[in-house]
């Protein structure tokens, strides 16, 4: 029987001006939720969904409630669930009326014959599959909408790299790996713009033969290099998840100046890794003896 493993991230960025204790409390809560699933014998898929739902609910993080608004003051969210046992995925992009985009991504994978739904069609699918639809404005925090209105009044644009996409990766007792990635995208993005997060191989990847990963950061950089697939398939004898994560980001940094990216990884061997090129990337993971550890700046 494989040992359970779990790691979550709250997004690569500078996190300037945030209360780090609160941020770390948020990622810890997500890891606790995912870990309680694994400890009870649940699957890696259940664990990453549960952990990501916690981050989607927490307004500190750029996913679900608390997502950045786009240029017209609306939330458009993207998510990807990957299953290392079947090499299947479910993805959604530019969804506007779903509280938990990662849960919709999972339903795309398990309840449809397709892989990827976007925009109104994705919201409509959610309703058909029994998910409640919410008003877009209920996904926006009062702080985010106030700041948007102030910028509009001043004709100002936002220039920040504060937070980012969230995600979770898990290995369960049956040796199955899964990843979940959920995001509101980048601040002030163009309406209809989609980043790396819902793209299989870029924003997330899982293959039981190698490992699983979830990425965060500037999607335009990550998706061009299929960061998650590149890192996961680098996990071989002698290259654990930490080494693969680091070499994947070193590769990105060698090809693109300041790629603004981060990644969390679990190897099929149970190794856990995290790396980022940004100033910070809050993570929480579970050690071999079941303790939950947190870090604002894991290995860079």
Distance (Å, whole) CA 195 – CA 261: 12
Pick from 183, 229, 242, 271 the residue near ligand GLY by CB under 6 A. Answer: 183
Query: Which among 37-45, 140-148, 179-187, 251-259 is the span making contact with ligand GLY, rule CB under 6 A?
Result: 179-187
CB burial of 94-110 (b: ≥16 within 10 Å; e: otherwise) equals bbbbbbbbbbbbbbbbe
Q: Is 166 in the site for ligand GLY (CB under 6 A)?
A: no
Query: What is the x/- site pattern for ligand GLY, positions 24-53, by CB under 6 A?
Result: ------------------------------
Which residue lies nearer to ligand GLY by CB, 186 or 235?
186
Distance (Å, whole) CA 234 – CA 268: 12
Pick from 195, 204, 262, 298 the residue near ligand GLY by CB under 6 A. Answer: 195
What's phi and psi for 68, nearest 5 deg? -65, 145
CB of 185 to ligand GLY, least distance (A): 4
Three-state SS string across 197-248, please?
CCCECCCEEEECCCEEEEEEECHHHHHHHCHHHHHHCCCECCECHHHHHHHH
Q: Is 101 in the site for ligand GLY (CB under 6 A)?
A: no
Which residue lies nearer to ligand GLY by CB, 196 or 233?
196
Tokens of 17: 């001006």
Q: Tell me which of 52, 82, 165, 181 is the catalytic residue.
A: 165
Which residue lies nearer to ligand GLY by CB, 21 or 72?
72
How many beta carbons lie within 10 A of that of residue 183, not counting itself? 33
Which residue lies nearer to ligand GLY by CB, 80 or 171?
80
Distance (Å, whole) CA 216 – CA 200: 13
CB of 93 to ligand GLY, least distance (A): 10
Which residue lies nearer to ligand GLY by CB, 219 or 267?
219
Q: Is 138 noted as a catalytic residue in this protein?
A: no
Query: What is the x/- site pattern for ligand GLY, positions 228-267, by CB under 6 A?
Result: ----------------------------------------
State whether residue 141 is helix, strand or coil. coil
CB of 202 to ligand GLY, least distance (A): 9
Q: Can you state the percent helix, strand and coil of the chain, rounding each to 5?
A: 35, 25, 45
- Identify residues 197-216 at the interface with ligand GLY (CB under 6 A): 197, 216
Query: Which among 1-9, 48-56, 139-147, 193-201 is the span making contact with ligand GLY, rule CB under 6 A?
Result: 193-201
State the virtual CA torsion across 281, 205, 166, 297 in degrees, nearest 10.
-10
Q: Is 186 in the site for ligand GLY (CB under 6 A)?
A: yes
CB of 85 to ligand GLY, least distance (A): 25
Pairing status of strand 88-95 against strand 116-118: parallel
Pairing status of strand 283-286 against strand 272-276: unpaired
Residue given tokens 């079941």 in the structure block? 290
87 has which bridge partners? none
State whether residue 287 is helix, strand or coil. coil
Which residue lies nearer to ligand GLY by CB, 30 or 243?
30
CB of 186 to ligand GLY, least distance (A): 5
Catalytic (active-site) positions: 165
Catalog residues that contact ligand GLY under the rule CB under 6 A.
Answer: 165, 183, 185-186, 195-197, 216-219
């Amino acid at each position: 029987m494989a040992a359970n493993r779990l790691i979550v991230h709250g997004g690569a960025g500078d996190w300037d001006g945030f209360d780090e204790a609160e941020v770390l409390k948020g990622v810890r809560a997500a890891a606790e939720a995912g870990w309680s699933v694994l400890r009870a014998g649940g699957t890696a898929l259940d664990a990453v969904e549960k952990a990501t739902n916690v981050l989607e609910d927490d307004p500190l993080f750029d996913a679900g409630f608390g997502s950045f608004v786009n240029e017209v003051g609306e939330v458009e969210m993207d998510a990807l669930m990957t299953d290392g046992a079947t090499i299947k995925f479910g993805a959604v992009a530019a969804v506007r009326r779903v509280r938990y985009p990662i849960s919709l991504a999972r339903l795309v994978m398990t309840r449809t014959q397709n892989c990827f739904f976007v925009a109104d069609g994705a919201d409509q699918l959610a309703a058909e599959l029994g998910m409640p639809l919410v008003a877009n404005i209920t996904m926006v925090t009062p702080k985010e909408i106030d700041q948007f209105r102030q910028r509009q009044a001043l004709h100002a644009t936002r220039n920040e790299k504060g937070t980012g996409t969230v995600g979770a990766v898990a290995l369960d007792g049956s040796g199955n790996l899964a990843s979940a990635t959920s995001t509101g995208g980048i601040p002030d993005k163009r309406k209809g713009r989609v980043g790396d997060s819902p793209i299989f191989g870029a924003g997330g990847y899982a293959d039981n033969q190698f490992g699983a990963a979830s990425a965060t950061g500037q999607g335009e950089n990550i998706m061009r290099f299929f960061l998650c697939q590149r890192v996961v398939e680098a996990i071989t004898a002698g290259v654990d998840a930490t080494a693969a994560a680091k070499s994947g980001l070193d590769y990105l940094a060698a090809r693109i100046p300041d790629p603004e990216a981060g990644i969390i990884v679990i190897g099929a061997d149970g190794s856990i890794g995290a790396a980022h090129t940004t100033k910070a990337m809050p993570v929480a993971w579970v050690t071999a003896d079941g303790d939950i550890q947190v870090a604002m700046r894991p290995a860079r």
